[in-house]
Amino acid sequence: MGWERMVKKWLQALGVGLGFLLVGCESVLTTNAGAIGVEREQTMFSLLSPGRVHAMAGRAYLEALEQAQSKQQLNRRPYEVKRLRRIASRLIAQVRSFRPDAGNWAWEVNLIDDPQLNAYCMPGGKIMFYSGIIDTLSLTDDEIAAIMGHEMAHALREHGREAMSQAYALLLGELALSAVFDVDPDLINIGSIVVNYALTLPNSRTNEAEADLIGLELMARAGYDPEAAISLWQKISVQAGQSIPEFMSTHPAHDTRISGLRANIPKVELLYRTASSR
């Protein structure tokens, strides 16, 4: 293929891909900035509405509950379940500070009796904790609030919808190239992996930093000591070590994360003092 023809083909593929993206994508601010000041605009695929993503997440959450129930692992520790739900209720009461509609989400909190050090909040407010993270780290209520606030922040910022939108953009780009060059899409997968490492991972670290900051403000507004976010990550650092280099991980290195949290605690101190005095 001559050089001029190759350039023409690439421009044609680029035009097809950009056409899909221009029609299907929008830039949005999913949350208010808050005292902490998270204001990044996010690019979302318009066909992936929040309601659709919430429905998908709800089905996945129900499957996780059913699987845990079948293994007799679901909510087997009533005291811890009550504790988690009490903490969650205080945090949920503060979500309108970041997005008013989130106060109407069908929030739910459950506990799986499993040694994993894990917790998550799905789009739409479906929260899951694993007993392992509570037991292994001997978590205080404030430290649980730090974890839960962080995971809730991912849902508030629609990081799941954002990641799905990025995946759609990559897929559309692959389809455009394969259509123009008559290439088997499977042959493009290696390039997709490279693009994933070049683009997706830095954004994922950005999302983690945003969740740290919004979670910090949520816990402070709910009357939980923001300093507990520091003690939490110090415990995690001791437990897990620093075995994964930061540039190869979706999560910031522990020291980086702790430094970022410590630098932002002064922004939420007044909120914490006000809440804890009520």
Q: What is the mean pLDDT of residues 65-69?
A: 97
Q: Look at 99 and 41; give whichever has higher pLDDT.
A: 99
Backbone angles phi, psi at 43, to 5 degrees: -95, 120
Res. 149: pLDDT tops 60 = yes
Q: Which residues of 119-147 are buried (b: 16+ CB within 10 A; e: fewer)?
A: bbbbbbbbbbbbbbbbeebebeebbbbbb
Per the annotation, the verdict on 151 as an active-site residue is yes
| CB distance 113 to 131 below 8 Å | yes
Q: What is the mean pLDDT of residues 196-209?
A: 62
pLDDT of residue 97: 96
Question: Would you place residue 26 in the very low, low, confident or very high pLDDT band (cuts 50, 70, 90)?
Answer: confident
Q: What is the distance of C-alpha 107 from the center of its chain? A: 16
DSSP state of 74: B
Q: Which residues, including other chains, have CB under 8 Å from residue 190's CB and lie 6 or more apart?
A: none
CA angle 274, 122, 164 (to 5 degrees): 120
Q: Look at 51 and 10; give whichever has higher pLDDT.
A: 51
- Active-site position among 151, 158, 210, 217: 151
Longest pairwise C-alpha distance within the chain? 74
Q: Which residues, including other chains, have CB under 8 Å from residue 194's CB and lie 6 or more apart?
A: none
Query: Positive or negative, the Cα torsion across 161, 33, 257, 117?
Result: negative
pLDDT of residue 182: 54
Q: Which amino acid is at 210?
A: E
| CB distance 245 to 238 below 8 Å | no
DSSP state of 110: E
Domain edges within the chain: 23-276
